[in-house]
Structure 1
């Protein structure tokens, strides 16, 4: 089991030294454990060069199974520890940078104060994550649909995206009454990828059963929603912003919601965890904390 744990740490970190540090081992011990594991299996698990350390085909398949084994062992240990004691252990949470700033970091801070025996690690990643392969307990994500069948999800907030602009911009350009009229406005473009340099996009509007797709254009193209949020506040034009990010500015009059009968995009905020995993007490408590915070926060409970 020690060799398996070391192998998993090496693949996860990509370095023997980093894996050894995470396990509190000398570098030589980590290397020797993996070497002995390969020898006992009769299979090379890692490709080693001066610049690259990565699993072989057999190593990648073995890694996936080892992660599941270690997860089940940890869950068994956690279940026993939780009997008659206060919850303890490490909780690893994945989320996006936006949700991390808007919701998860604050929940984690309060959670640590209430449960001093639990360590919380929040990892912000703006990409699709594999909870099992990356050793994560739970994810708080924005998703337009249900995850795959290996996951269980719970909706925290019925997320929406709203069109908005500053009163100063609208005083000059006027407010659109129909989605099609946005084609004549300066719209702030959210880039879809690192190499997407276009200054046009398609926004899909929904109202009851009606759907309209509008081609919009603008001179300002940005790669993150936080930059888009800052730009619209600076009066750069019309932007499509998650409702929980702009609701407070709209309430205070710093922004105006345009086309209020229309929603640009529906993306629920969800808590996701593996369907085959027994939820430890610390995971259940954290899920409850996220749900309660979102329910009491008007930015999430009113959308």
Structure 2
């Protein structure tokens, strides 16, 4: 098992490009991670990484060994999956990610219930609105709003989520209620947007009497954190586009009000992404099935 631990540590250091980040991800100390890499290098008789005070780069041998190491870990996962199927007691750790709104509303509340049903499966949940790389970040599954661009992933659609434009009554009192989506393209209104590195230009797809219109919008603020975006809207700083489930509580209390109800946004797909493998890990399949059933039951209420 020590050699396998060394390989797993090498893979995470390679993927994250940082010894400390890999150690945190594996819940070990940086010293232990460094020791495991050194042991692996001694065993192989090669240098896997070039280390400087600031950078950690894989050598040619490191790049070659990474490809084989992935196959080793996948083979072990498949063997464990076979055993889990036989014993009918899946065990191990799952690394799962979700956007903040989806995670807070649906995933996080159901994780303890899942663990009660399957006490041998541990869940490591990461919530982030930024774009994620499942392979590079070692994720078993990632819930997603929108249409993924990576064709190497499997996708399981869960639901089409209605969306709306909304703002606070304070904002409407100050700037007026827009009567047409064309007004969003002018300085008459501020649109608050979710943006992360590599995100495309902002276009809100609205359903108009003339058909779908993609409206290019802008505003004084943008962030990669969906909850901050909602807070800005609550404080009267602009109009936001949100899935209804994320702002339902604020709509019910009157802290946010719908905008341009006659030109609503297109719904957005909620789905779960996972890696292509010859055989899906039983514990991942159980978790995804559990969450799909939970989300489907609660998104309609």
Q: 1:34 Cα shift?
A: 2.1
CA 1:29–1:132 in structure 2 vs 1: closer, same or farther (change >3 Å)? same
TM, length-normalised to structure 2: 0.80
RMSD across aligned positions (CA): 3.4
Question: Which is further off, 273-282 or 166-175?
Answer: 166-175
TM, length-normalised to structure 1: 0.80
Q: 1:27 Cα shift?
A: 6.2
1:212-227 to 2 correspondence within 5 Å? 212-216=213-217, 218=219, 220-223=220-223, 224-227=225-228
Aligned length: 292
1:59 to 40, 62, 70: 62
| 1:33 alignment partner in structure 2 | 39
Consecutive unaligned residues of structure 2, counting only runs of 5 or more, are: none
| 2:19 alignment partner in structure 1 | 15
CA 1:230–1:25 in structure 2 vs 1: closer, same or farther (change >3 Å)? closer
CA 1:65–1:136 in structure 2 vs 1: closer, same or farther (change >3 Å)? farther
1:81 to 59, 80, 84: 84
Question: Which is further off, 150-159 or 249-258?
Answer: 249-258
Alpha-carbon distance in structure 2 between the residues aligned to 1:194 and 1:23: 30
2:178 to 169, 176, 179: 176
| 1:45 alignment partner in structure 2 | 48
- Please tell me whether the aligned partners of residues 64 and 133 of structure 1 are also in contact (alpha carbons under 8 angstroms): no
Consecutive unaligned residues of structure 1, counting only runs of 5 or more, are: none
Question: Which is further off, 120-129 or 221-230?
Answer: 120-129
Deviations, residues 89-141 of structure 1 (Å, cap 9, x unaligned): 11111223333223222222221222211111112344433333433211112
| 1:156 alignment partner in structure 2 | 158
Q: Does 1:129 align with 2:132?
A: yes
Question: What SS is found at the alignment partner of 1:81?
Answer: helix
